Amino acid sequence: MTVFPPQEFARRRAALQAGMADRGQDALLLTSPADVFYVTGFLTRFWESPARPWFVVLPRTGGPVAVIPDIGVDLMSTCRVAEIRSWPAPDPVDDGVTLLAGTLADLVPETGAIGLPMGLETSLRMPVADFDRLCRALAPRRMVDATETVQRVREIKSELEIDAIRAACAVADRAFGRVPDIVAGAGSLAVVFRRFQAALLDEGADWVSYLAGGAGPDGYGNVIAPAGPAPLQPGDILMLDTGAVKDGYFCDFDRNFAVGPPGDTARRAYDVLHATTEAALAQFRPGMTAADAHRVMVGAIRAAGGIPAGGRLGHGLGVTLTEWPSFTDRDRTELRAGMVLTIEPGVVSAEGRIMVQEENIVLRADGPELLSRRAPLQMVEIAP
């Protein structure tokens, strides 16, 4: 159940297996929705149920083996897997552990290493007690960190993936264009959020996995809150930040709107954000590190008279709402052509208030190519 052709999955598998060979990993054990989708095309919202673990094992050679709850066999059989093994889950006595251990024992020699993403931005989607049991059952095989193996491959998007993200961005672009109509008569931010999500669906999103935002005079307190019942007020700056999904790929960008004419404070902050994004669009290049990108953006914010805010100033994007690397002063990940990234400057606009602006790009050899439609030079003003 995927829109991508078999060659795309063959490409991914070959790239992962080359990385495994380089690092001496005999199999990859994948448990996250994103990794499972990436390798097999298995796309379902059923991950929302925490009841069952799902496993995909990619051996050093050959196709992926899915070790999954029986409820998923029908759907997985439409995906790019060499074999499916299943058990009746959830099982309080043995929830797939014996089946998974047997599968890994079949594929990995006793002296071998099983790669598992264990590092930053990963987590293991199975019970801790079952993981302990698995490790004991597989000894003397070793579990080793495969974060690099997965991330160095997933972070470089194929043109098919870039097209999918571009399509998700286009959905959000169209929905952002409807915000003035959406706000008219909405009353509260809660109603704006509902209508905006409906607009994203109407414009072609398969589903809306993320919407956050805020509204307040001269900015907002944070960028992760759900909507409250408070009414929008003249003078508010409204920000909507969405991760709409199409064919399993995300966009992740935001837009600001002024409810009535914006005050000088908000306009100045918006100008800083705009100039900072321009600097990033002009200067980002393959070969820079994420920390270099951060330095470019902080420099631009300061040069425009702003105070940086909001944590990291951009990040990867694709199969999840956010991916590595992070534009912080601590992230030494090399930027490479084919990375899809967000450019997300944030500034302190007033006491306890911030403003942010976000764009989605793909990094090409000669710099960024926009995937989102560039935010306007001046905030769109909507009727109060």
Give least dist CB 165 to a copy of itself, A: 16
Pick from 380, 374, 190: nearest CA to 282: 374
Which member of 98, 188, 209, 283 binds a copy of itself (CB under 8 A)? 209
Per-residue mark of binding to a copy of itself, 248-287 (x: CB under 8 A): ----------------------------------------
Give least dist CB 366 to a copy of itself, A: 28
Helix (H) or strand (E) holding 268: helix 264-283
In a 10 Å sphere around its CB, with 0-12 CB exposed, 13-18 middle and 19+ buried, how is residue 145 labelled? middle
Please say whether the beta carbons of 249 and 168 come within 8 A.
yes
Q: Which residues inside 83-102 make contact with a copy of itself, applying CB under 8 A?
A: 88-93, 95
Which member of 10, 14, 225, 307 binds a copy of itself (CB under 8 A)? 225
Residue 350 within binding range of a copy of itself, rule CB under 8 A: no
Q: In 3-state terms, what secondary structure has residue 259? A: strand
Residue 246 within binding range of a copy of itself, rule CB under 8 A: no
The region of 17-25, 56-64, 107-115, 123-131 touching a copy of itself under the rule CB under 8 A is 123-131
CA-CA distance, 282 to 370, in Å (whole number)?
A: 11
Q: Which residues inside 307-346 make contact with a copy of itself, applying CB under 8 A?
A: 310-312, 315, 320-324, 326, 328, 330-332
Q: Which residues inside 20-79 make contact with a copy of itself, applying CB under 8 A?
A: 32, 34, 43-46, 48-51, 53, 69-72, 74-75
Give least dist CB 19 to a copy of itself, A: 18
Q: In 3-state terms, what secondary structure has residue 354? A: strand
Cβ proximity to a copy of itself: between 342 and 372 the closer is 342
Please say whether the beta carbons of 116 and 134 come within 8 A.
no
What 8-state DSSP symbol labels residue 185?
A: T
Q: Are strands 359-364 and 346-350 parallel, antiparallel or unpaired?
A: unpaired
Centroid of chain to Cα 297: 21
Centroid of chain to Cα 147: 16
